Amino acid sequence: MWWDTAVRPHSMPPVRRIARGVTNQEESTVAQGVLEIDRISKRYGEVVALRDMTFEVRAGELFGFVGSNGAGKTTAMRIALGVLAADSGEVRWNGAPITFETRRRIGYMPEERGLYPKMKVLEQLVYLAELHGLTTNDAHRSAENWIARLGVRDRRNDEVQKLSLGNQQRVQLAAALVHEPDVLVLDEPFSGLDPVAVDVMSQVLREKASAGVPVVFSSHQLDLVERLCDRIGIVRSGAMVACGTVDELRAGGETRLVVDAPGAANGWAADVPGVRVVETRGTRTTLELTADADDQAVLHAALATGPVREFSRQRPSLTELFRNVVTEEETA
Amino acid sequence: MRRLSPSRAVLLVARREFLGKVRTRSFLIGTVVIVAVLAGYVLLQAVLFDQSNRSTVGLSGQSTVLAEPLRETARQFGREVATTDVTDPAAAEEQVRKGDLDVLITGAPDALRVVVKENLNSALQNALDTIVRQQVLNAQLAEADLDPNVVAAKMAAAKVTVVALEPEDSQQGQRLAIGLVIAALLYYSLLVYGTMVAQGVVEEKSSRVVEILLATLRPWQLLLGKVMGLGAVGLLQLVLIGGIGLVLSSTTGVIDLTGVASGALATGVLWYLLGFFLYATIFAAAASLVSRQEELQSVVTPISTVIIIAFVVGINLLIQDPSGTTVTVLSMLPPFAPILMPGRMAIGVAPLWQVLLAVVLAIGAVAAITWLGGRIYSNAVLRTGSRVKLRDALR
């Protein structure tokens, strides 16, 4: 599959290979509806913000962008939007380098929220829609539509600064959507939202993706990203260190087993090759198996100690995967 | 794909800035207050002018025939007189005591009795003395069988010839006043609306809305739209205040050089446009260097100072001598020209070549500043956080 890519920066030591595949620029040069970030680098003086950052977001796809603070997510998004210039590399839309005119078709939600505090909600959205090329009538229609959709209709004639932060966030999302963009780039859209607003936001993003719009957003809420996104990219120190579906990110890593064998003595599994005991809690033992270890040998060893009440494969959550990737990098 | 032409982009920005400001209460109140102050001043001038130059004189009995000669003679001495016929001298004396009448005159034309409250205005005194003497003279001439009218005509023809080496323009005072008012209006407009541009730039930066805007607008489109929109607000206010001031002062008779004043307002508008583009771009560029309103003062003060100096120093020089070397040179230099040149033009001391030179220099400065300021703005407006160094912004 074209998106099965593990992008590894040349300058960094080899990391765990999460997914296999070809590098994207070989196959997808004339992709339709694809936003490609191709080997973007950016330095702020001595600080390297991005090094050869590469990923792509395809039509109809929700792409989650995760990474520690300062990893380079915001810089990458700002470069994609053209509010920041890259030192090298290219951003492409539908296979062609992105231009100022095509950038107008992106819906953008900056990390630091940006609206005129003293402008009324509706006026503000109409203005932004017009600035993106809508006629006045279309701008009004679209603004009213999104205001209603995002549940801020009764605040449409209030100044933005008088709204609660959560409602300001909804207006901010409406500002990104009001010109019916072809691409959505959202920096931390879920931060500061209440659960209801999170649901509304998730639904809207899902809907946009289903309508064929590539959606990329960054977030620290990894459970949400895991639940919502088709693909996920993990960023560290300005480079993409892992990229793929959650299953792909899980594949190739150590397998964890939880075994509940009440009759077993300590160290019962120590002799099975490729097995490491992670934790023993009461009668339950958590084991970590290398890729070539045989889980059936573990089961046999467990049964040899007496009854086995539980034998389960533990699927690491995105949070655990993320932690693994990031800490591995740090210790490497 | 929907396209947005650069001109529509600029107009959209300008429209937002214009409507956003014009619809605020502060604009309305500000304009009304300035107009009210101006109107109050003009009316006060009119009333003072009227009171200090006009006397109400009551004439009783035989003296009523003096009404016409009194008005005319008093006018020659520089005093307006309104006359009323009085039937009850006692009641009239009471009116003088209360101040309703300035003067009460009774008695025969050659032996007038004049009643005043405190003292008699010297111009009126002279006028009355002249009239009384004229009455005596006429009687004597009649006795000597001479026609008083022929003598009066001969006397009127006898005049001294005055040769003024440096003749004073009788309109000089009014022209100076008009010049100072127009300089003050420009000073106010440039300072207030220039600062407003700076505040707008920082508002967009501090609220980060600039990041969204610049994803769809070029920096120059945002800058030009902002300058045009706020410039139009300032222009509207200038024309409103100037126009109302003009109508008021000419209808109340405070100025009678309506043509000069209208011309001054028209040139004032042209100089406002030049001056605003010059200063607003500098204000915007300076403001783009900082990210918070609290930091704005530090970058804006040097620019405001130039405008304030142009006004304060310029006004003093204009009052002393509007053709002095210093003020002549200053009025042609771009930073000062928008305030001083319209002032000097209204006073009528700016030769055409000086005006044209000032305009050419100002247009040149606007072009240079627009280029430079636009560059600084484009480079700095997306850099948030600490203050951007001018050197970095120019790179």
Q: Pick the residue of A78, A94, A131, A168 with the most B CBs within 10 A to test the interface with B by mutation.
A: A131
User: Do residues B84 and B136 share a domain?
Assistant: yes
pLDDT band at B1 (very low <50, low <70, confident <90, very high): very low
Partner residue opposite A131 with nearest CB, options B211, B213, B384: B213
pLDDT band at A18 (very low <50, low <70, confident <90, very high): very low
User: Do residues B361 and B226 share a domain?
Assistant: yes
User: Do residues B20 and B89 share a domain?
Assistant: no
- Enumerate the domain spans of chain A: 24-250, 255-331
B389 part of contact set with chain A, CB < 8 Å: no
> In the predicted model, what is the mean pLDDT of residues B266-275?
92
> In the predicted model, what is the mean pLDDT of residues B141-150?
84
Structure-model confidence comparison of residues A135 and A320, the more confident one: A135
User: Do residues B221 and B189 share a domain?
Assistant: yes
Are B4 and A132 inside 8 Å of each other by CB? yes
Are A83 and B384 inside 8 Å of each other by CB? no
Q: Chain A residue closest to B204 (CA)?
A: A116
B93 part of contact set with chain A, CB < 8 Å: no
Contacts of A44 in chain B (CB under 8 A): none
End-to-end CA distance of chain A: 29
Instruction: Specify if B124 maps to a domain.
Output: yes
Q: What does the pLDDT read at residue A301?
A: 85
User: Do residues B19 and B149 share a domain?
Assistant: no
Count of C-beta atoms within a 10 Å radius of residue B311: 21
What mean pLDDT, rounded, does chain A reach? 82
Structure-model confidence comparison of residues A7 and A37, the more confident one: A37
For position B78, which CATH number holds?
A: 3.40.190.10
The upper half-sphere exposure of residue A67, i.e. CA atoms within 13 Å in the direction of its Cβ, equals 27
Domain count of the fold of chain B: 2
Chosen domain end from B128, B157, B186: B157
How close A56 gets to chain B, by Cα (Å)? 20
pLDDT band at A13 (very low <50, low <70, confident <90, very high): very low
Instruction: Specify if B1 maps to a domain.
Output: no
B331-344: per-residue pLDDT in tens?
999 999 999 999 88
How close B303 gets to chain A, by Cα (Å)? 26
CATH number among 3.40.50.300, 3.40.50.620, 1.10.3720.10, 2.60.40.10, domain A24-250: 3.40.50.300
Chosen domain end from B114, B134, B157: B157
Decide if B326 contacts B314 (C-beta within 8 A). Answer: no
Say if the ipTM goes beyond 0.90.
Answer: no
Decide if A53 contacts A8 (C-beta within 8 A). Answer: no
Contacts of A110 in chain B (CB under 8 A): 208, 211-212
A218-266: per-residue pLDDT in tens?
998 888 998 899 999 988 888 888 888 888 887 766 778 888 888 877 7
Q: For the domain A255-331, what is the CATH code?
A: 3.30.70
Decide if A98 contacts A38 (C-beta within 8 A). Answer: no
Q: What does the pLDDT read at residue A19?
A: 40
Contacts of B18 in chain A (CB under 8 A): none
B172-223: per-residue pLDDT in tens?
777 888 888 888 889 999 999 999 999 999 999 888 898 889 888 989 999 9
Are A110 and B384 inside 8 Å of each other by CB? no
Count of C-beta atoms within a 10 Å radius of residue B288: 28
Instruction: Specify if B239 maps to a domain.
Output: yes
Please name the residues in contact with B202: beta carbons below 8 A apart, sequence gap of 6 or more. B287, B290, B291, B292, B293, B295, B296
Q: What does the pLDDT read at residue B389?
A: 82
- Buried-state track A104-131, b at ≥16 Cβ within 10 A, e below 16: bbbbbbbbebbbbeebbbbbbbbbbbbb
User: Do residues B101 and B138 share a domain?
Assistant: yes
Contacts of A134 in chain B (CB under 8 A): 2
**DSSP code of A84?**
S
> In the predicted model, what is the mean pLDDT of residues A67-92?
87
Instruction: Specify if B127 maps to a domain.
Output: yes
User: Do residues B58 and B84 share a domain?
Assistant: yes
Decide if A219 contacts A40 (C-beta within 8 A). Answer: no
Are B216 and A132 inside 8 Å of each other by CB? yes
Contacts of A78 in chain B (CB under 8 A): 211
Element (H, E) at A328: helix A318-331
Determine the Cα–Cα distance for residues B127 and B28; give it in Å rounded to an integer. 51
Structure-model confidence comparison of residues B300 and A27, the more confident one: B300
Element (H, E) at A59: none
User: Do residues B324 and B229 share a domain?
Assistant: yes
Contacts of A112 in chain B (CB under 8 A): 208, 211, 384
User: Do residues B30 and B66 share a domain?
Assistant: no
Are A131 and B4 inside 8 Å of each other by CB? yes
**DSSP code of A159?**
B
User: Do residues B230 and B273 share a domain?
Assistant: yes
Are A127 and B210 inside 8 Å of each other by CB? no
Contacts of B20 in chain A (CB under 8 A): 118-119
From residue A132, how far is each of A3, B29, B220, B383 by CA, in Å?
31, 35, 16, 23
Angle at B295 between CA B291 and CA B301, to 5 degrees: 125
B66-103: per-residue pLDDT in tens?
888 888 888 887 788 888 888 888 888 888 888 888 88
B109-130: per-residue pLDDT in tens?
777 888 888 888 888 888 888 8
Task: Estimate the crossing angle of helix B6-22 against helix B219-251, to 10 degrees.
Answer: 50
Instruction: Specify if B164 maps to a domain.
Output: no
User: Do residues B73 and B35 share a domain?
Assistant: no
A 232-291 residues inside an 8 A Cβ radius of B: none
What mean pLDDT, rounded, does chain B reach? 86
Contacts of A127 in chain B (CB under 8 A): 12, 16
Q: A283 forms bridges with which residues in the sheet?
A: none
Are B211 and A83 inside 8 Å of each other by CB? yes
E-assigned strands of A22-170? 35-44, 47-57, 62-67, 88-93, 96-97, 106-109
Decide if A302 contacts A268 (C-beta within 8 A). Answer: yes
Chosen domain end from B91, B125, B157: B157
Are B215 and A114 inside 8 Å of each other by CB? no
Q: Residue B117 belongs to what domain range? A: 54-157
Determine the Cα–Cα distance for residues B327 and B309; give it in Å rounded to an integer. 12
